[in-house]
A and B are shown apart, each in its own frame.
Chain A
Amino acid sequence: MVNLVKMILVSGRSLEQGLGKEEGKFSKRYIDATTVCQLDPEDMSKLSISEGESLRISSQHGSIIVKAVKSKHAPHPGVIFMAYGPWVNTLTSPETHGTGMPSFKGLEVEVEPVKTAERP
């Protein structure tokens, strides 16, 4: 069993996030859409994690606990996806490299399963 795996985080739009946004940023739909992490099924096996279980994602800038779901867009081993929102932005670097734009995609993160009672 692997406890901690280095991966690349990509954040982006999703249909559920867009629909949730219109229901309200405090709606269950928005929160559900922005607190899940899509993983490649092989990576889920590597992490010994099942659908719906919690995982911790950490970057240089922060750490979050979110729910793991099996990606419908696999295979993309080593790449995890989260919808735009306050949760994923906890991990985002404010460094813009002189462009004004932070790096919302392609961020190096560490992922580990959370087996305690910690919830997203």
Chain B
Amino acid sequence: MEVFKNVLCPFCGCCCDDLEVEVDSNRIINVKNACALGRGKFLSIGEHRLLKPLVKVDGELVETNLEEAVEKTVEMIKNSSYPVFYGFGCTSCEAIKLCLEIADISGGLADNISVVCHGPTILGLQDMGIPSATLGQIRHRADLIVYWGCNPVEAHPRHMIRYGPLSNGRFITGRKGRRVVVVDVRKTSTAAMADVFVQVKPNSDFEVLTALRALVNDLDLEVEEVGGVPVAKLEELADMMVDAKFGALFFGLGLTMSYGKEHNVEAAIALVRDLNKKTKFVMIPMRGHFNVTGANEVFAWQTGYPFCVDFSMGYPRYNPGETSAIDVMARGEFDLLFVVGADPCSHLPHYVVEKLKNVKLVVLDPSITPTVKMADIAIPVAYVGIEASGTAYRMDGVPLQLRKLVDPPPGILSDVDVLNRIVRRLK
């Protein structure tokens, strides 16, 4: 039996890098230090596995070989007027770079899953900038941690213990000495652990954030409540924020997916900017998939833009709303969807998924998903971070190394190897 130490977890944006994975005869038999979600991923790689390339013939998916699947994929890309390349939250930076090369060659659209998670965060920070930090700085120094519109207990289960209020920092140790605030529309499992819970009405975050800005700037509010929150409660929260020596605001999709979207994020950034006139305050978006941050990084360094990149004019163009995957697909302005490291049929609005009936669909995935079932071509690939190595970016923008611990099933290549074959044939 071999024990791999300091393994990076390829589940959520926490990218915990202290896992111990026990491997015996090319099989993972135990995982230590992981949360239930990470452990579940490592121990389930043999389940619901896509083991052979599939192509659709007369409406039915039939097995084929890799060469034929790649050849047919290349034909589809060459014959496409406007292909959309989408996904990338669950693959390596190296694979994302190759997909962007294919999108460039084919004059298509490249977009990543941040368009349906923290896309509005990107729009907000492009307008405002973002006062941020690494998770390590927060662990060592933060005496006030605010979780706004996120529920790490269920979505990022080790966030609180590794980087948040339960972590052991150099200057502050554990829960003692730290105060925790949760702002949400429901009293979530995370809220149950907070010192202060602020329950806002749905779609009211912008108003509440703006009211907090007023209080932080010593202005009076001439109302009894804002967004369902009594002003006295907001005054208490504003005082806590100003009195903190080092505050950290972690925010989630409660801000980006509800009414206001990027304006909610802009209001949060403005609040943190105002707080920095009086104390030290930073903010970090709670990124969901383990390399969705990496997707933004690779897109930005390859094209100049972090998502929603259109190559149809022969150079990168960026205009979310026009050049975003959801909008392009909803308008029916595409004839091929090429997916890597995502399952759009489960996670996009049904209206958009219906549009896929009229176009070609190619997917690279390790497992059988609804997108695989709907595909014209499905190519099995190795699990990145378990069966293939690569680079991922943690939610705070720190790049980390994904490792190969076991071999994939026979005949199955990594995303990078499959994409390289496609690139070679396209050139």
Contacts and interface: CB of A to CB of B under 8 A. Distances in A.
Interface of A: 8, 10, 12-15, 18-19, 22-27, 61-62, 71, 73-76, 79, 81, 84-86, 89-94, 96-106
B256 A101 contact: yes
Contacts of A15: 36-37, 153-154, 157
B259 A103 contact: yes
B320 interface: yes
Contacts, number: 160
Contacts of B89: none
Contact of A10 (B37, B186, B191, B368): B186
Interface in B109-129: 111, 115-116, 119-120, 123
Interface of B: 36-37, 40-41, 44, 47-48, 111, 115-116, 119-120, 123, 151, 153-155, 157, 185-189, 191, 199, 202-203, 253-254, 256-259, 261-262, 288, 307-308, 320-321, 324-327, 330, 343, 345-353, 367-370
B369 A99 contact: no
B186 A13 contact: no
A25 B343 contact: yes
A13 B154 contact: yes
17 contacts: A13-B154, A18-B36, A23-B40, A24-B47, A25-B346, A62-B351, A76-B186, A79-B185, A86-B345, A93-B349, A97-B321, A99-B123, A99-B261, A103-B257, A105-B253, A105-B258, A106-B203
A101 B352 CA distance: 12
A94 B326 contact: yes
B387 to A, nearest CB: 15
Given A12-B155, A14-B154, 13 more contacts: A10-B186, A18-B154, A22-B44, A23-B44, A23-B47, A24-B44, A26-B48, A79-B185, A79-B186, A81-B186, A84-B346, A89-B349, A93-B351
Contact of A100 (B37, B185, B288, B320): B320
A8 B326 contact: no
Contacts of B202: 8, 10, 79, 105-106
B43 to A, nearest CB: 8
Contacts of B352: 94
Nearest to B39: A22
B226 to A, nearest CB: 17
B175 to A, nearest CB: 21
Contacts of A96: 320-321, 324, 326-327, 330
Closest 4 CB pairs of A and B: A100-B324, A24-B48, A98-B321, A22-B40
A79 B253 CA distance: 16
B370 A86 contact: yes
Contact of B346 (A8, A86, A102): A86
B349 A61 contact: yes
B321 A99 contact: yes
A96 B351 CA distance: 13
A119 to B, nearest CB: 19
Contact of B258 (A14, A61, A90, A106): A106
